[in-house]
Amino acid sequence: MSATSRYATRTSGRGGRRATALGPGLAALCVVLAVVAFLSVTMGSRSIGLSEVLRALGNLDSDGSITSTVTLELRVPRTLLGILVGAALGVAGAILQGVTRNPLADAGMMGINSGAAVLVVFAVTVLGVQGVGVYIWFAFAGAIGALVLVYAIASLGREGATPVKLALAGAAVTAGLVSVTTGIVMTNVDALNELRFWQVGSLAGRYTPILTGVAPFLLIGLAASLGFGRVLNGLALGEDTARGLGQNVTRTRTAAFAVVAVLAGAATAACGPIVFIGLVVPHVARLLCGPDYRWILPYSMVLAPIVLLLADVLGRVVAAPDELQVGVVLGVMGAPAFVAIVRYGRLSEV
């Protein structure tokens, strides 16, 4: 079978899946996301009725009531940030898995989390920075810097940044940065406390300034990511086949890593290293819509915030009047989900 025929077979979907079926499926997921977003605004240690939410949203200048303050200043920004961060991590994971052809690729494996952590520790210990609203920008710079370093190391040699070299470079950079971070925080109480607060992965305490700070990066990255479906389909068939289809593999990988750096870097900086979203959600999307990345990317973009917001709501309800951080809840939910995908799904088909 020719490269073009194999490409057409792959992108046509399996099991009779067609755009006429996948489109309504995606629309249904958008409805589910809207419902989950509503739950995120109304549920928590203090329940808020629909009429109260509508009244608060109709008067965007808070009237000073507890309900209005909680809705406008806490829950709405938290929910919007959860939607953007979830979508960013889901799409970033799907792109990384497609570019590296590695079913276990996610932001953590490519050094993004560890790079962000290193600069958070640097900001606290050297510059005396306190508070997530300030050191978010150090985390963003560290995440992007680490991913650039991984790609630069993997690009050495005549073969360039192959999937195996990317995985090895990511593991090496991650191990080195984690060692540096651990060495610093073990001798500095302030750094340990700030890193512990940030590294748990949470939507709590991320208010409007953080949302407005990272939203432009996330929106631009999400818009750019939707153009990668066709080229990721070509890469999934192998580098030689992709070149035969007219792709510039090096340029494609570089552009994909740039988008991932923006998406995962901004998301990790804002909310800390949220686990399992970028790893598990693309596999769930693949089970729902088949191997075509033109559908995997939008499905991941909608599925990931659904999972993230559900975990956040669950953490608020289960531990009320306190709450469990979303990173903790996702760790508990994600591990058995991933085992089920490994056991019954198609983990190797990226």
Q: By residue range, what is the domain housing residue 241?
A: 23-321
pLDDT > 50? residue 16: no
Tokens coding 203: 């939507």
Kindly write down the DSSP assignment for every residue of 109-177, as one continuous string. Answer: TTTHHHHHHHHHHHHHHTS---SHHHHHHHHHHHHHHHHHHHHHHHT-STT-S-HHHHHHHHHHHHHHH
Give φ, ψ of 291 to 5 degrees. -90, 5
When pLDDT is cut at 50, 70 and 90, the band that residue 52 belongs to is low
Residue 102 lies in a domain: yes
Is residue 41 within 8 A of residue 33, CB to CB? The reply is no
User: Are the CB atoms for 114 and 78 separated by under 8 Å?
Assistant: no
Residues 218-233 have pLDDT tens digits of 999 999 999 998 889 8
Q: Is the CB of residue 276 less than 8 Å from the CB of residue 102?
A: no
Report pTM: 0.85
**Quick check: is 57 in a domain?**
yes
Q: How far apart are CA 280 and CA 35, in angstroms?
A: 22
Write the CATH number for 126.
Answer: 1.10.3470.10
Tell whether 230 is covered by a domain: yes
Q: Is residue 113 part of a domain?
A: yes
Report d(CA 274, CA 264) in Å as an integer. Answer: 10
Question: What is the per-residue pLDDT across 85-99, written as a single tens digit (0 to 9) for each?
Answer: 999 999 999 999 998
| pLDDT tens-place string over residues 24-39 | 889 999 999 999 998 8
In a domain, 181, yes or no: yes
Amino acid 47: pLDDT: 64
For residue 58, tell me if it sits in a domain.
yes
Q: How many domains does the chain have?
A: 1
Q: Is residue 307 part of a domain?
A: yes
Tell me the pLDDT tens digit for each residue of 148-158. Answer: 899 889 888 77
Question: Which whole number is the average pLDDT over 161-167?
Answer: 80
Answer whether residue 46 is part of any domain: yes
- Percent of the chain's residues with pLDDT above 90: 23
